[in-house]
Structure 1
């Protein structure tokens, strides 16, 4: 007896459950099973990570960006739950065991981070150039890095060393200090702590009385600081609000636990540090 599916059922049930698998396998027409073949077993990220991120891009196209980000976060939880002894570099050549969580889910998140580092235009230009230059041929991770560096116009050893050739993810603790000058202009100092020394640009968003303001800071050591000019009084701030960076934990330290007033160029700078748990 045939099963009749109406359009609402198809979009609501089948798409939610099966679109990931179908779009992932379709993406292998480009990555790892069609246009671009992986040179060695150590290059499987170019197949599985690329197909998985292509699948997520299709989710974003068909169901919206928020659903794509939800799937990205959901999928990577298995990787974040691995025992440290199971975590291996993306180019280890290992297959089975933790490989799905590493190559597929961490792998797709790494591409998402590269997109953030390069920006949308240069990222998608990189993907197109890589597919065109290795059309019907073999490619390695080093080949992809070469294309990304040439198209992006910057050295990316730091990125590939951390996320492809290395293991682990950062955890962050962040504090913000607000200051106002004698001209009434506000600024914020954001301080980020990590136990490791992952090097990543991070987006910081402030809600102020004059509207939203977004900037970037480089977090590349155990303690990193950056001062953002705000213009008007800040109300709140977010560190990596859109989850561009794969991380294990993010802890905000507040509310006020100390207040300081310092003379500065004929005015007074007010700053306060927020304590954890507020």
Structure 2
């Protein structure tokens, strides 16, 4: 589910050997009740991956009804429609279901306490999916980036094209995740998951602050001979966002690696690949 997002587009690029049906408007409109049921019955897939979401963290504070409709209600409808046809569903969720108060890496059973509307809507989506379909996987990931769409790495890359200095938050730490790496893992998972209901974390290996991630983008730009902007660290309180973000939301992915033998690459290597693709597209 989802067609225009960066994960959906990455899946479409990586899944060359699979019959992938990426659904979006007009076939699937998550703001329209009943749309998911009609689409799933029409196409009858073997498995549903729900990669669609309302992801504007600040925008969700202004449009809470829309965020909950897409991230929670529609997610439950997708899972219910899949269950009616005995189809398992993989539902993508987020590190924003946590409040950032834990200093270490977060396991799947860690206490959830989202800080804003986006996180609350995604947590309710998890609950609706798990209640609607016993054949589900809740897959929490974090800080997704790619050469597609809008994301932090791409924004930093593009800002460096015209600016000499960038201010980036240094007190938020998480698990940067390449959409391409995540897509590869999802494709490999299809032959290894038995459909048993479960929750997993899956994100890029290692951890970073937003500031460190931005510095790595600059380091790769420098190696490519591109203009490099100076990156200045700032505190979260100095960034003018409507929504609170978790200060620390590093995901422990050892359960997923243990059960499926899959571990995503170290985030610096994947950032380099994305920056190189952005540079090649200039």
TM-score with structure 1 setting the length: 0.28
Pick the structure with more strand per residue. 1
